Amino acid sequence: MNPTRNEDGAGGHTTPDQPKKPNMLGLLIAGLIITFIFNMVAGSLAAGNKPQLEYGQFIQLVESGLVRQVQIDDQQIAFTLKEEIREGGEGGEGGMDQRTLREILRLPAGAEGPAERRLLSSQVYYTGLLEDPALTERLLKNSVAFSKPIIQPNPIRDFISGWIFPLLIFYGIYFFIMRKFSNMGGMGGMMNLGKSRAKFYGMEKNTGVSFSDVAGQDEAKESLVELVDFLHNPDKYRQIGARQPKGALLVGPPGTGKTLLAKAVAGEAKVPFFSLSGSEFVEMFVGVGASRVRDLFAEAAKHAPCIVFIDEIDAIGKSRDNQLGGNDEREQTLNQLLSEMDGFDSSKGILVLAATNRPEILDKALLRPGRFDRRIIVEKPDLPGRKAILAVHAGKIPLDSDVDLGEIGRSTSGATGADLANMVNEAALRAVRMGRSKVIQEDLMEAVETVAAGKEKKDRVLSPREKRMVAFHEVGHALVSALQKDAQPVRKITIVPRTMGALGYTMQAPEEERYLMTRSELLTQICTLMAGRAAEELEFGEASTGAANDIERATRLARNMVTQYGMSEKFGMMGLESLTGQYLDGRSVFTASDASNAAVDVEISRIINECHDRATELLRANREKLVSLAEYLYAQETINGAQFMEKLAS
357 vs 379: CA distance, rounded Å: 10
* 370 and 223 belong to one structural domain: yes
**Lowest mean pLDDT across 41-45, 216-220, 418-422, 580-584:** 41-45
**Does 2 map to a domain?**
no
Task: Indicate the residue among 377, 400, 418 that finishes a domain.
Answer: 377
Give the pLDDT mean for 380-390: 91
Strands (E), 302-400: 306-311, 350-356, 374-377
Whether residue 366 contacts residue 259, with contact meaning beta carbons closer than 8 Å, is answered with no
* 327 and 248 belong to one structural domain: yes
99 vs 90: CA distance, rounded Å: 10
pLDDT of residue 153: 57
Task: Indicate the residue among 147, 175, 207 that finishes a domain.
Answer: 147
The pLDDT of residue 12 is above 60 = no
The pLDDT of residue 338 is above 80 = yes
Catalytic residue IDs:
474
The pLDDT of residue 89 is above 50 = no
DSSP 8-state code for residue 95: G
Give the pLDDT confidence of 155-180 residue by residue, as tens digits.
Answer: 666 666 666 777 777 677 776 676 65
The pLDDT of residue 187 is above 50 = no
**Does 5 map to a domain?**
no
Distances from the Cα of 133 to the Cα of 71, 139, 340, 572, angstroms: 16, 11, 85, 117
* 38 and 184 belong to one structural domain: yes
pLDDT, the chain, mean = 80
Higher pLDDT, 451 or 554: 554
356 C-beta neighbours (distance < 10 Å), count: 22
* 396 and 502 belong to one structural domain: no
In this prediction the pTM is 0.67
**Lowest mean pLDDT across 156-160, 305-309, 323-327:** 323-327
Task: Indicate the residue among 453, 479, 506 that finishes a domain.
Answer: 453
Give the pLDDT confidence of 236-252 residue by residue, as tens digits.
Answer: 888 888 887 888 999 99
**Does 326 map to a domain?**
yes
**Does 7 map to a domain?**
no
| Residue 423 pLDDT grade (very low, low, confident, very high; cuts 50, 70, 90) | very high
Using the Cα atoms of residue 596, residue 597, residue 601 and residue 604 in order, give the sign of their dihedral: positive
Whether residue 545 contacts residue 574, with contact meaning beta carbons closer than 8 Å, is answered with no
* 423 and 555 belong to one structural domain: no
597 C-beta neighbours (distance < 10 Å), count: 13
* 422 and 537 belong to one structural domain: no
**Does 418 map to a domain?**
yes
| Residue 42 pLDDT grade (very low, low, confident, very high; cuts 50, 70, 90) | low
Give the pLDDT confidence of 517-567 residue by residue, as tens digits.
Answer: 899 999 999 999 999 999 999 999 999 999 999 999 999 999 999 999 999
**Does 92 map to a domain?**
yes
* 448 and 508 belong to one structural domain: no
Question: Which CATH number characterizes residue 339's domain?
Answer: 3.40.50.300
495 vs 535: CA distance, rounded Å: 15
* 427 and 484 belong to one structural domain: no
Q: How far apart are the first and last CA of the chain?
A: 73
**Lowest mean pLDDT across 17-31, 81-95, 226-240:** 81-95
Give the pLDDT confidence of 480-520 residue by residue, as tens digits.
Answer: 999 998 888 898 999 988 877 788 888 888 777 778 889 99
* 428 and 509 belong to one structural domain: no
Give the pLDDT confidence of 612-635 residue by residue, as tens digits.
Answer: 999 999 999 999 999 999 999 999
* 208 and 185 belong to one structural domain: no
* 438 and 535 belong to one structural domain: no
Q: Which of 51, 190, 193, 230 is nearest to 127 (CA)?
A: 51
| Residue 103 pLDDT grade (very low, low, confident, very high; cuts 50, 70, 90) | low
* Domain count for the chain: 5
**Does 13 map to a domain?**
no
For 50-129, where are the alpha helices, taking DSSP H only? 55-63, 98-105, 114-122
Higher pLDDT, 23 or 421: 421
pLDDT of residue 2: 39
Question: Which CATH number characterizes residue 578's domain?
Answer: 1.20.58.760
Question: Which CATH number characterizes residue 127's domain?
Answer: 3.30.720.210
The C-alpha torsion from 562 through 565 and 568 to 571, rounded to 10°, is: 80
Range of the domain at 636: 464-649
Across 145-149, 529-533, 569-573, which has the greatest mean pLDDT? 529-533
Across 45-59, 88-102, 455-469, which has the greatest mean pLDDT? 455-469
Q: Which of 276, 281, 346 is nearest to 316 (CA)?
A: 281
* 501 and 644 belong to one structural domain: yes
Across 56-60, 341-345, 415-419, which has the greatest mean pLDDT? 415-419
Q: What percent of the chain has pLDDT over 70?
A: 77
**Does 557 map to a domain?**
yes
